[in-house]
């Protein structure tokens, strides 16, 4: 599975102008609703429920909010470059400016975990993250996320 199996050009928001974790999750849920056809409130509630278990801010300015939803037939992703970093309760207590939302079918099992691992590996690459931060708009970001090197890193 490549990153291009998870995300479409419509699933990239760059720049995303928000000032809080809640606003960021709401914006991602709204875009995910467009991409998946599900209700944005259901997606947002699922993300909040997951965040209550522990922050999905994984450090180095990156968050990977995720959840499982009834009604999905496959994995979906939404990526956002934030205009300004926000506090996200990340494990390293640093603000977040790159977010990759991953949504999986309720019974995805190992596929969900494999996709999380792929996204995590991609975003652990500091050079890739710097390129994403400097990319020119959603098309540039999508190109970087789905490039051959990104696919191999994932």
The arithmetic mean of pLDDT across residues 28-43, rounded, is: 97
Note the pLDDT of residue 129.
96
Which domain range does residue 96 map to? 3-153
Note the pLDDT of residue 111.
87
Give the total number of structural domains in the chain: 1
List the CATH number of the domain containing 72: 3.40.930.10
Q: Give CA–CA dist 63/70, Å, rounded.
A: 23
Q: Give CA–CA dist 106/149, Å, rounded.
A: 30
How does DSSP assign the chain, residue by residue?
Answer: --GGGT--GGGEEEEE--SSHHHHHHHHHHHHHHHH-S-HHHHHHHHHHHHHHS--EEETTEE--EEEETT-SS-EEEEEEEEEEE----TT---EEEEEEEEEETT-THHHHHHHHHHHHHHH-HHHHHHHHH--HHHHHHHHHTSHHHHHH-
Percentage, residues of the chain above pLDDT 90: 88
Q: What's the pLDDT tens digit per position in 47-101?
A: 999 999 999 999 999 999 999 999 999 999 999 999 999 999 999 999 999 999 9
Residues with catalytic roles: 66
Q: Give CA–CA dist 66/136, Å, rounded.
A: 26
Note the pLDDT of residue 148.
55
pTM for the predicted model, two decimal places: 0.93
């Amino acid at each position: 599975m490549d990153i291009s199996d998870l995300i479409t050009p419509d699933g990239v928001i760059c720049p995303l102008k928000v000032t809080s974790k809640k606003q960021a999750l709401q914006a991602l849920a709204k875009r995910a609703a467009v991409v998946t056809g599900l209700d944005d409130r259901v997606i947002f509630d699922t993300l909040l429920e997951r965040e209550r278990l522990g922050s999905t801010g994984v450090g180095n300015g990156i968050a990977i909010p995720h959840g499982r939803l009834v009604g999905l037939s496959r994995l979906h992703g939404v990526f956002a470059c934030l205009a300004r970093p926000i506090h996200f309760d990340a494990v390293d207590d640093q603000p977040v400016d790159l977010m990759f939302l991953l949504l999986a079918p309720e019974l995805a099992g190992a596929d969900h975990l494999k996709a999380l691992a792929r996204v995590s590996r991609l975003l652990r690459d500091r050079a890739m993250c710097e390129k994403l931060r400097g990319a020119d708009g959603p098309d540039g970001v999508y190109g970087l996320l789905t490039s051959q090197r990104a696919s191999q890193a994932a």
